[in-house]
Amino acid sequence: MSPNLRIWVAVKHGVDVGLTRADPATGVVALEGAPRKTSDFDRNAVEEAVRVRERSGGTVTAVSVGPPSAREALREALALGADEAVLFTDPAVPRFDTRAVARALAATCRTLGGFDLLLLGEGSTDHFGGVVGARVASELGVADLAYVRKLTVEPEGVVAERDLEREVEVLSARFPVVVTVGQEINTPRVPTFMSNLKASKKTIRQVGPAEVNLPASSLAPVQTTLRVAVPQVARKQVPLTGNSPDELARELLSRLRDEGVWP
């Protein structure tokens, strides 16, 4: 292994689910033009990439697949400490789905200098498919360690503690390796005025299918989204008050009795 770790981190500029608004009548959410931000777990992935570099040396390259506006996520990754950033974009692809993203990420890491460690979020905040990490690893023919909560870099590879529903596993794999993380792995640092200023001066490299040897036709989306809607649940919204906690408690219990949900 080279002493100079090539660390990559994939960041998605996804829909900001806290800011989307549904049509009050139909519940339909318009995703076109919806506010966007860096997908939550990707900030943990960037933080982890930067921590690995701080401990073991190397360079951190952030990569995003999307329209030119995805530069915002890359700009944030730079402000959080990434050294370089690459945007994969292509006006001929109407929408990057899971397959296109996995192919573009794999081809970009492979072509632009290769990688030892590729970090991703274990699921994106808006789509939450949880498959891009494994699919990229499959495309690249390398191991993927998913749902990692603790990551240690050794000379030849990584040791990762990962959290499944019913067990914790400690796994190891040699470089090159793909690792996916969730919010428990770390607390991302907050960009400072200086780090933002520094990031704003860096150039974000832009590539398309030709630069990474992919036919654009292999990126065409497979599925069609027919409708995204928020299920409408009407709640009574009754505020309960009382002159004392005891009075409030009795009031609540009497409501629950009236509703037939207790005892």
Partner 1 sequence: MNTGPVLCYSEEPELAEELLRWTHHQKLSEGAPVAAAVLGALPADLPQRYAAAGAQEVYRLAAEAPAFPEAGVLAEALAIVVREAKPRLVLLASTKRGKQVVGRLAGLLDWPVATGVNELRRDGEAWVLEREALSGNAVSVEQFPGGAAIFALTTGQGPPAAASYPLQIREVTGAFPPSRVERREQRPKGGGGVHLETAERIVTVGRGLKKREDIPMVEALARALNASVGCTRPLAAEAGWFSDDHWIGLTGHRVKPKLYVALGVSGAVQHLVGMRGSRIVVAVNQDPNAPILGQADYRITADLYSLVPALLRALGVPG
In the bound state with ligand FAD, the residue whose beta carbon lies nearer, of 42 and 139, is: 42
**Residue 44 within binding range of ligand FAD, rule CB under 6 A:** no
The reply on whether position 186 binds ligand FAD by CB under 6 A is no
66 binds ligand AMP (CB under 6 A): yes
Beta bridge partners of 153: 158
- Stretch touching ligand AMP by CB under 6 A, among 29-37, 124-132, 197-205, 253-261: 124-132
Which listed range, 61-69, 149-157, 191-199, 224-232, lies at the site for ligand AMP (CB under 6 A)? 61-69
125 is a site residue for ligand FAD (CB under 6 A): yes
Give yes or no for a contact between 149 and 39, defined as CB atoms under 8 angstroms apart. Answer: no
User: Minimum distance from CB of 21 to ligand FAD (Å)?
Assistant: 19
Q: Which strands sit side by side in the sheet containing 6-10, from one edge to the other?
A: 157-163, 143-153, 177-181, 117-121, 6-10, 59-65, 84-88, 205-207
Nearer to ligand FAD by Cβ, of 43 and 53: the residue is 43
- Given ligand AMP, ligand FAD, partner 1, none, residue 171, with its beta carbon under 5 to 8 Å by kind, binds partner 1
Residue 22 three-state SS? strand
**Between 187 and 232, whose beta carbon lies closer to ligand AMP?**
187
What residue type is 255 in one-letter code? Answer: R
Q: Which residues contact 104 (CB under 8 A, 6 or more apart)?
A: 65, 88, 96, 209, 212, 214, 219
Cα(174)–Cα(141) distance, rounded to whole angstroms? 13
Is residue 133 at the binding interface for ligand FAD, with CB under 6 A as the rule?
no
Amino acid at residue number 171:
L
123, 176, 188, 191: which one contacts ligand FAD (CB under 6 A)? 123
Report the C-alpha gap between 39 and 88 in whole angstroms: 17
Residues contacting ligand AMP: total by CB under 6 A = 24
**Nearest residue by C-beta to ligand AMP?**
121
By beta-carbon proximity to ligand FAD, the closer residue of 123 and 191 is 123
| Residue found by looking up tokens 């080279």 in the block | 2
> Residue 48 and residue 248: Cα distance in Å, rounded?
46
Residues that bind ligand AMP (CB under 6 A): 10-12, 39, 41-42, 45, 64-66, 96, 98, 101, 120-121, 123-124, 127-133
